[in-house]
Amino acid sequence: MTPPGALARIIRSSADRSAGRSEERCDLCGEPLAGTHRHLHDTDRAETLCACQACSLLFTEHDAGDARYLLVPRRRVRLPPVETAPLGVPVGLAFFVPRRDGTVTAHYPSPAGATRWEVEPDAWREAVARCTDLAGVAPEVEALLVNTARGLRHHWIVPVDDCFRLVALVRREWRGLSGGGRIWPAVEEFFAALTERSA
């Protein structure tokens, strides 16, 4: 499942923004946060934390070794189509997060959160061989995000917090058994925003 603290925080901050409130604080020092702020990945708790500018400057995006906190990057890179069927994807909307131990976890958003499973190591190595950009995905803090639902072909390297935002969006917009009429326009809007941010 998606780390519950990260998902709950994103859902709460989205609701706060909708209500005109600005109550977010840095998860490290407690200082109030600007509307746009960085995130840290806590590797001990597998949770994404909000960070003020001062705290985010203490960490680098590609911190090596066994550092507990990793700064989540900001880059968003559109990829050519990536063949994901060998990775065991049962749906068209999913993301894949490499870990520092060499494993890769796959997730797909659902009304209950994100379902998670382990990718076969050989399948991931083959995907990297076919798309060498995947070799540069930063462990823990970046993901391969895929959307082939409804005939679309979106393949991206994104910060992992973008994936949590997508999970929160699916939970918020899903209605009934099939998702209802709001979910797919919202997902398409999410990917259109990715394109704008990457420009």
Domain segments of the chain as ranges: 4-71, 77-198
**Nearest-angstrom CA–CA distance, 109 and 169:** 9
pLDDT tens, residue by residue, 99-150 = 999 999 999 888 887 888 999 999 999 999 999 999 999 999 999 999 998 8
**Model confidence, pTM:** 0.83
pLDDT tens, residue by residue, 154-174 = 999 999 999 999 999 999 998
Handedness of CA 121, 139, 142, 180 (dihedral sign): positive
Would you tell me how many other CB atoms lie within 10 Å of the CB of residue 166? 25
Kindly write down the DSSP assignment for every residue of 31-97, as one continuous string.
-B--SS-EEEEETTTTEEEEE-HHHHTTS-TT--TT-SEEEPP---EE-S----GGGT--SSEEEEE
Contact 107, 97 (CB under 8 A): yes
